[in-house]
Every structure is written in structure tokens, then in C-alpha cells.
Structure 1
Amino acid sequence: MLEPAGVLPQAARRLDASPELWPDEVRISVERLNLDAASFRQLAEAHGGDGEAVKRSVLGILAERGKMQNPVTGSGGMLVGVVDEVGPDSPLGVQKGDRVATLVSLTLTPLRITDELRKWDGRSEQVPAAGHAILFARSIVAKLPDDLAPELSLAVMDVCGAPALTARVVAQYVDKGIKPVVSVIGGAGKSGSLSLAAARRAGAARTIGIVPVQAEKDRLESAGLAEVVALADARDPVALAAAVEQAGGPADITVVCVDVPGCEHGAVLSTAAGGTVIFFSMATSFSAAALGAEGLAADVTMLVGNGYVPGHADYATELLRSEQGVRELFEGRLKAEGQD
């Protein structure tokens, strides 16, 4: 860390992104970044969809901070690249030449871009890039599977914590003899579609996908990942609760996977007493969630999805391979972004 002194990398305002390694570090030659969905949405909206302005903003953040950490959302993303050098004391189990995805946030990864992002138009979450990144001894990294395109692997690994934690929570209910109703807000997105598949596989009695527009409803229904797909604006608590109720709720488990702020109260209101809300969105205000639950006298357990569950990358990749609906949604999203 360059500043302030004494804090961990995620909390640092600026990191040292020089290429020299400590003995337990690894240097990655960067090929592609994946910006966090909440961060990319904020940047795109702030600049009115002007891709060049978004690009300049990202370059400015990288130059100022030595890492990718959106100062508004606080979030970053992840990257793929090739291992360039491995320190002799690194415990990460990678070798020079391995193509890998980092499973830790760009908000704590020293990162220097050297190509001015020339191949990126500023209009998609995935960012072709050249440069280097540094991984610490306690970083998390996964080798990319040979049978998947790097763009597809990156899209899956960007959100692989969501399905793994969803499966764990559903399994805990099942172990107690309860087959839960699971509602996924943002069910047609990357983390949402994987979470729906994970919930069903883990033994949910009913899966409900919540989406904001008809086009996403059509896509999710075609994918066949939810028993019911409902239209609702997750920022309207009463409308969301009504939609979940009509779809077979209230939910025992609500998984929040949207990339817009203001969905906390709706998630709480649409969850049954004694239920669980899992927040995966980096747009979440955790003070709003806590105070909102208090104000609603809602007896719910609220979990923060921290992006890491042991085995999460392998689990999410296997869901992509085995669930045709998940793969169709991912490939459709990449095609729409021009990443095919």
C-alpha cells in the first residue's frame, strides 16, 4: 500500500502497482478485465452512455489508485491473464504460462494498464486490456478451463460466489427438513441465473425469478431455470412483495442479484418471517437493509455474499456446463456485448 499506511489493500486509497515482486507474490500479464456490474452501470449512467468518457474515467481511476475501485460504488471486478512470474514463496499453486482468472476483487489488486484500453469501446463490462496485476499470498486464483472460451470463463468466475453460497443456504434448510421457496431478484443476470440453478439443484421446493422488463422475463422463461418468472421493479417494496406472493411466496430465501441501489426494503418485505436474505449486489446499502428490516419489524437473517466459498469456481463452472439454460443466458449476454 502507498496510502494510507497500516490498512489492508481493499481499504487503501492507493496501491503500489509496480511490477517488482515480493517472494510470496505472483505477477499476471493482463488480457481482459471484467468490471463489476454495479460499477459499470454507475459509470455508464454518469457519462450518459458515452463509451469514450467511460474509458477515460476508468483510466483515471487506475492511474490515481493503482487499482480498479469505483469511488462511487466502491466495487471493482476481476480479470483474466497469463502468469508472468511466480515468487519462490507463493502458495497459490500456479506456474508461469498458466492462463488464470483472479477470484479476488480488483479493489484490492495492484493493477497497471499499459495500452490505454485501445481495444475497448467503453460500452461493455468486459474490457480487453494489456498490463500487469499483482496477486498476494492470500489472493485467490483459478486456472481457466480448456473447454470454455476465456470470455465465458471470466463471466462465470466474476459471480461464482453467488451460486455456491445460495446452494449452501438452501442445503441448510433442507438438512432441517424444510424445502424452501427461493426468490432470486435479478434472476436473468449472471449471478441470478446461476443462483436459480444452484437453488433448484440443492433442493428448493420452488424457485421464483424476479426481473424488471418483459424481454428478461422471456429470456428467463425460455431458459427454464425458475418455476415462476415474475415482473416487478425491485425498488418498489410493495409491488415486489406482491409479485413474490402471487408467484408462490413469500420466499424463505431471497437472493438479491441486481446492480441498482434501492432494492433492500423490497427484499426484506418479500421474505417470510424467519427467512434469509442474501445480498450479492455491490449496489446494496447495508445500513438501509438493517434499518429497513428494523422499521418493518422483520425477523430475517441477512447475509453478505463476500464472493468466496471454498470450491466456488469449480461449482459455478460445472453449473454452466450442465445447465443448458444458464449457458444460453451467458452466451446471449456476451453476444449482445460483442464478446462472441
Structure 2
Amino acid sequence: MSIGLRRVIEPAGVLPQAAWKLDADPRIAPDEVRIRVQRLNLDAASYRQLAQKHAGDGAAVRAEVLEIVGTRGKMHNPVTGSGGMLIGVVDEVGPESPLAVKPGDRVATLVSLTLTPLRITDGLAGWDGLSEQVPAEGTAILFGRSVVGVLPDDLAPELALAVYDVCGAPALTDRVVRANRAATVAVLGGAGKSGSLTLAAARRAGARTKAVVLNEAERDALREAGLADEIAIADARDPVAVSEAVGEPADVTVVCVDVPGCEHGAILATAAGGTVIFFSMATSFPAAALGAEGLAADVTMLVGNGFVPGHADFAVDLLRQVPAVRALFEARIAAD
């Protein structure tokens, strides 16, 4: 089925994402593709956890990422359970691979590093451990059921990688808003990568947008971008503060915050019969389910699984069509 079972070392019988350890041997099977790695993008929740654990010591963060990849054969943070994605150049394509790529294509993997066999060969010598984007050399393996996109010529690789990393969020938001004819969308973490794209998608789908951000700097940046009709400051971990910040409950609430403990605020901020979309890898799904039950909240809760057909093209089109989103992304990359 081209899902990578041959790469699972332990435990036996699970899929690559659930495996503790994968075989990252660069020799490919007939249905696989080998990528020459150029840059990793650690997901926000994983990088935050590592940076906080090591108190901002970049060398220690780099050492732990190398240890994780070396031990597990993939970048799969054992604390957050998340990974990220990568860009690189197609090195070899197996004769039975269904992926529409060829040697020499510069691509971004649109599947998580938690299921991608990965080998690092340069010791991450070009990375200071102080940002989510990681210059790297090595190899990665894609399966027949993997998702990959050829990088667009008009975007810098770092920019394309940042967009592809969160491209599932705006695409699913667009689908939910249109399917439910949602009038209002609240986005927790609206000033971040996934948050800004989600606001743009919701507005383009016809919804009124509300953003909840952590501080005045994020509020001012988002206000200048003009992506939200309303902006409020609140700690997304404080349920009452979030509910008060949103005001009239939203038809759709999207969680794009990379810290744990945001489930109950999102539920309180959502109208009866509405939908909550959790895109953060820091989400506790038991907390969400039991919290909704305890609050007698009649809401539909969706796991943002990162894949919607056409999601990469959708996000890149938003970036091209909404200059304010591109400006936010470029500013974040420059800051990193």
C-alpha cells in the first residue's frame, strides 16, 4: 500500500507515524523517493518545548534534535509528539512511486517529520538552535502515500517552507466556513503563521473575523495588516478571558496557539451548534472532549490533520493575493 511499513523498526505492526523508531537507510524501495535535505522546519509546539527546556541555549537545542533524529530515525519530539516538515531536492525516484516528482525537483514535504525517515549528515553545523527553520544536510524518504509539493519559483524557499508548514489550517477553515455558512470566525493566535492565513481564508470565505492575541505587539502587527475585524488581547489559556475577549460567541473558533491549555477557552468562545477547529499540536484532545461535556457545550470539534486536497496551492494563493499576510510571514522569517 506504499505506506512505509518496511521502514518501521519498533514496535512492529504500527504505521510509521506511531513507530518509536524508523529505518532511515537512504537506499530506496521501488515505491519510495529519496530527498536530499536542505532545510527542516520544526513545528512551533516542538520548538517551543525544546527552547523552554534548554532555557534558550541553542547548542543544547541542536544537540537534542540530533539525538532525537539519531535515535528514532525521524524528527519526532517525544514530549509534544510533533515534528515539522522539510524542503530539499529529489535525489532518486523508485520506478513504482506514484509521486509526481523527478530527480532535480526542489520540493517541500507536506507530511510530518514524525513519519518521515530522516538521516542528518552534517551535525546541523549551520544551525544555531535559535529558530524553527533548520539548515541541514542529509536524506529523507517519502512513501507512495506521502504528499509532496514542488516549490514555486516566485517564493524564497524559506518563505515557501513557512507557508507549507501550516497550509492545512486555512484550507480547512475555508471548507468549514463555506459548508456552515459561518458568519463569524474567531482565531486564537491570530498573529502567527497559521493564524494569519486562517484569518485571511475566513475573510475571503465571507466571514467576519475576530482575533485573540497575547500582547500589544501582536495586536499592533495584526491591526496594521488589517486581517481581522476585531482584535482582543487575552491569554488563550484563560478560558474566561478568552470568552470575554471574543464577546458574542463565534460560529467557528480556530485554535492556532502553540501552547497547551487552550481547549476550554475555545469551547466557551463558540456558539451553540458551532465548530471548534484545533490546529495546535499542543492540544489535549481528552481535555477538549471532557471540557465540552462538562460545559454542556453543543459544539463540533475537529482535529486539523494538516491535509486537505489542494491545501498547498490554496495557502500559496492566499500569500500571493493578500500582501498583508506575506508581509507578516516575511517579518517573522527576518526576525528568526
Corresponding position: 1:140 with 2:147:
yes
Question: 1:310 aligns to what?
Answer: 309
Question: 1:208 aligns to what?
Answer: 210
Question: 2:183 aligns to what?
Answer: 180
- How far apart are 1:86 and its partner, in Å? 0.2
- How far apart are 1:237 and its partner, in Å? 0.3
Q: In 1, Cα distance between the equivalents of 2:172 and 2:311? A: 8
Question: 1:270 aligns to what?
Answer: 269
- How far apart are 1:41 and its partner, in Å? 0.2
Q: 1:57 aligns with which of 64, 71, 78?
A: 64
Question: 2:257 aligns to what?
Answer: 258
Corresponding position: 1:194 with 2:197:
yes
Corresponding position: 1:7 with 2:14:
yes
Question: 2:228 aligns to what?
Answer: 226
Question: 2:158 aligns to what?
Answer: 151
Q: In 2, Cα distance between the equivalents of 1:69 and 1:221? A: 36
- How far apart are 1:203 and its partner, in Å? 1.2
- How far apart are 1:70 and its partner, in Å? 0.3
CA RMSD of superposed structures (Å): 0.5
- How far apart are 1:173 and its partner, in Å? 1.7
Question: 1:334 aligns to what?
Answer: 333
Q: In 1, Cα distance between the equivalents of 2:203 and 2:218? A: 20
The amino acid across from 2:127 in the alignment is W
Question: 2:108 aligns to what?
Answer: 101
Q: In 1, Cα distance between the equivalents of 2:126 and 2:218? A: 29
Aligned residues: percent identity? 74
Corresponding position: 1:289 with 2:288:
yes
1:137-195 deviations in whole A, cap 9, x for unaligned?
Answer: 00000000000000000000000000000000000122xxxx42100000000000000
Q: 2:78 aligns with which of 68, 71, 80?
A: 71
The amino acid across from 1:334 in the alignment is I
Question: 2:97 aligns to what?
Answer: 90
Q: In 2, Cα distance between the equivalents of 1:120 and 1:271? A: 41
- Structure 2: where are the runs of 5+ without partners? 1-7
The amino acid across from 1:34 in the alignment is N
Q: In 1, Cα distance between the equivalents of 2:327 and 2:236? A: 24
Question: 1:243 aligns to what?
Answer: 245
- Structure 1: where are the runs of 5+ without partners? none
The amino acid across from 2:194 in the alignment is S
Question: 1:36 aligns to what?
Answer: 43
1:303-334 deviations in whole A, cap 9, x for unaligned?
Answer: 00000000000000000011011001000000
Q: In 2, Cα distance between the equivalents of 1:283 and 1:239? A: 19
- How far apart are 1:61 and its partner, in Å? 0.2
What secondary structure does 1:291 align onto?
helix
Give the aligned length: 329
Q: In 1, Cα distance between the equivalents of 2:28 and 2:138? A: 15
1:88-117 deviations in whole A, cap 9, x for unaligned?
Answer: 000001000000000000000000000000
- How far apart are 1:45 and its partner, in Å? 0.3
What secondary structure does 1:10 align onto?
coil
- How far apart are 1:272 and its partner, in Å? 0.7
What secondary structure does 2:17 align onto?
helix
Q: In 1, Cα distance between the equivalents of 2:99 and 2:315? A: 20
What secondary structure does 2:333 align onto?
helix
Question: 2:136 aligns to what?
Answer: 129
Q: In 2, Cα distance between the equivalents of 1:163 and 1:316? A: 7
Structure 1 runs (4+) deviating above 3 angstroms are: none
- How far apart are 1:238 and its partner, in Å? 0.4
The amino acid across from 2:167 in the alignment is C
What secondary structure does 1:253 align onto?
strand
The amino acid across from 2:151 in the alignment is L
Q: In 2, Cα distance between the equivalents of 1:188 and 1:325? A: 11
Q: In 2, Cα distance between the equivalents of 1:253 and 1:80? A: 32
The amino acid across from 1:191 in the alignment is S
The amino acid across from 1:52 in the alignment is A
